[in-house]
Amino acid sequence: MLTILSAYSQDSCKVLKPEIAGKYKGKCKKGLAQGSGTSEGIDKYTGNFKNGLPDGHGKYTWANGDIYDGSWKEGKKDGEGKFMYKVYGVDSTKYGLWNNDTFVKKIIPDPYKVFISRDLDSYSINKIGDGNKITLKIKKMGQDNVDIEKSDFSFIADNGLYREESNKYIYDQVIFPLHIKINYITTNKLRTVKINVVFEATINEPGDWEIILHN
């Protein structure tokens, strides 16, 4: 039997972390939040869930404005992440490794980090200048990929202004770090088989960035 993930309201799909258990929108499995979704109560969380709890990559915003953007496990900060908070009104940032909700090690973040790269021949991520922009290009055999099914194309970032321009997909006025997820259906080089491409990454360093995906 196939397990089907689908969207439900909070009435039929539970979030087990009390601070965000209010209004839920996202995927569900056996009555619990599972997969990508957003849940909001006193605090707010957008990201991946497992068994009703934040698990995987996600962004958590506390009622006081503090933000954690990074890895979660069983509802707790666990793995690499960035915590942004205020100390006596001054913005502060703590970036590093977390274990069971405890900060254990400071690290210098890479300019970017790729989480998922599925059904791609290759990809490149390059900083081409200063700024606050992300430009996506999708190629096949060195040319613009014109075999993408537009109805199944999505390019989601957690902030910024989106636009399309001459086979380029652009987010302007972004605030870094920026988490992006790209999903589309295209064909292989012989146009005999459809493939479902998924690409997910975080760009940590401010700049004018160009991402090229090759099929």
Do 100 and 121 belong to one domain? no
Q: Is residue 34 within 8 Å of residue 5, measured between CB atoms?
A: yes
What does the DSSP assignment read for 53-78?
EEEEEEEEE-TTS-EEEEEEETTEEE
Provide the whole-model pTM. 0.61
- Residue 137 vs residues 38, 48, 149, 197: alpha-carbon distances, Å: 28, 26, 15, 14
Same domain, 127 and 83: no
Shared domain for 161 and 120, answered yes or no, is yes
Strands 90-99 and 168-172: unpaired
- Domain assignment present for 10: yes
Tell me: do 88 and 131 sit in the same domain. no
Domain boundary among 63, 89, 106: 106
The answer to whether residue 122 is domain-embedded is yes
Q: Do 181 and 118 belong together in one domain?
A: yes
- Where is the domain boundary, 106, 131, 166? 106
Of 106, 121, 144, the position where a domain reaches its end is: 106
| pLDDT per position as a tens digit, 93-115 | 888 999 999 999 998 878 999 99
What are the φ and ψ backbone dihedral angles of 124, each rounded to 5 degrees?
-140, 145
Q: Is residue 1 part of a domain?
A: no
In CATH, what number is assigned to the domain containing residue 66? Answer: 2.20.110
- Same domain, yes or no: 76 and 96: yes
3 burial level (CB within 10 Å; 0-12, 13-18, 19+): exposed
Q: Tens digits of per-residue pLDDT, 1-60?
A: 333 344 444 458 999 999 999 999 999 999 999 999 999 999 999 999 999 999 999 999
Q: Are residues 124 and 184 in the same domain?
A: yes
Pairing mode, if any, of strands 23-29 and 154-157? unpaired
Strand ranges of the sheet holding 178-187, from the earlier edge strand across to the other edge: 112-118, 194-203, 178-187, 154-157
* 90 and 71 Cβ atoms separated by less than 8 Å: no
208 and 116 within one domain: yes
Count of other CB atoms within 10 angstroms of residue 190: 6
**Structure confidence by residue, pLDDT tens digits, 129-164:** 999 999 999 999 989 998 998 888 999 998 899 999
Contacts of 13 (CB under 8 A, 6+ apart): 24, 26, 28, 31, 32, 33
Co-location of 95 and 149 in the same domain: no
User: For residue 50, what are its two tokens?
Assistant: 């497992």
In a domain, 58, yes or no: yes
Residue-range definition of the domain harbouring residue 197: 112-214
Give the pLDDT score at 2. 38
3-class SS of residue 110: coil
**Domains in the chain: how many in total?**
2
Q: Please check whether residues 101 and 171 belong to one and the same domain.
A: no
156-198 pLDDT, tens digit per residue, is 998 899 999 988 999 999 988 899 999 999 999 888 999 999 9
**Same-domain pairing of 120 and 98:** no
Is 122 buried (19+), middle (13-18) or exposed (0-12) by CB count in 10 A? exposed
Query: Same domain for 98 and 120?
Result: no
8 A C-beta contact, residue 79 and residue 155: no
